[in-house]
Amino acid sequence: MFDAARYDDVATLLQLDCNVYWPNTRELFRGRQKLIDVNKRYPGRWHIEIVDIISKNELVVSVVRVYSKEKEQSFHATSFFKFKDGLIAEIIEYWGENTSPPPWRIAEGLSETY
């Protein structure tokens, strides 16, 4: 639904009082409508590829790759979904920009790109 920008449909998956945390920017979105609104207003068109999903009991963890329509920007997001009564009650999302490693790590042979 997010990949197709069907944000109003996403609301059917969320508790009315769902809280969403973005620790990287220390933001809290209280209530499902604020999550819907921030996604509707977010600049540009974004696509999402699922990398991995793990679930256990009332917790689901997803790792996704998010990239702009022109593929000029790319991020990875790791999200923790907590469920209550079959709906998402809380989301904690960590975002990281996909970029090149610092040259010193490559030059010193500490890492390699893949």
Give the model confidence (pLDDT) of 59-75 as tens digits.
999 999 999 888 788 99
**What would the pLDDT profile of 5-64 be if each residue is shown by its tens digit?**
778 899 999 999 999 999 999 999 999 999 999 988 988 788 999 999 999 999 999 999
Cβ burial 68-102 (10 Å sphere, 16+ → b, else e): eeeeeeebbbebebbbeeeebbbbebeeeeeeeee
Q: Is residue 28, in this structure, part of any structural domain at all?
A: yes
Q: Is residue 112, in this structure, part of any structural domain at all?
A: no
Q: Rounded to two decimals, what is the model's pTM? A: 0.86
Residue 104 DSSP symbol: H
Q: Is residue 82, in this structure, part of any structural domain at all?
A: yes
Q: Is residue 22, in this structure, part of any structural domain at all?
A: yes
Q: Is residue 1, in this structure, part of any structural domain at all?
A: no
- Looking up residue 56, the CATH number of its domain turns out to be 3.10.450.50
Q: Is residue 2, in this structure, part of any structural domain at all?
A: no
Q: Is residue 55, in this structure, part of any structural domain at all?
A: yes
Q: How many domains would you assign to the chain?
A: 1
Q: Which range marks the domain in which residue 46 is found?
A: 7-107
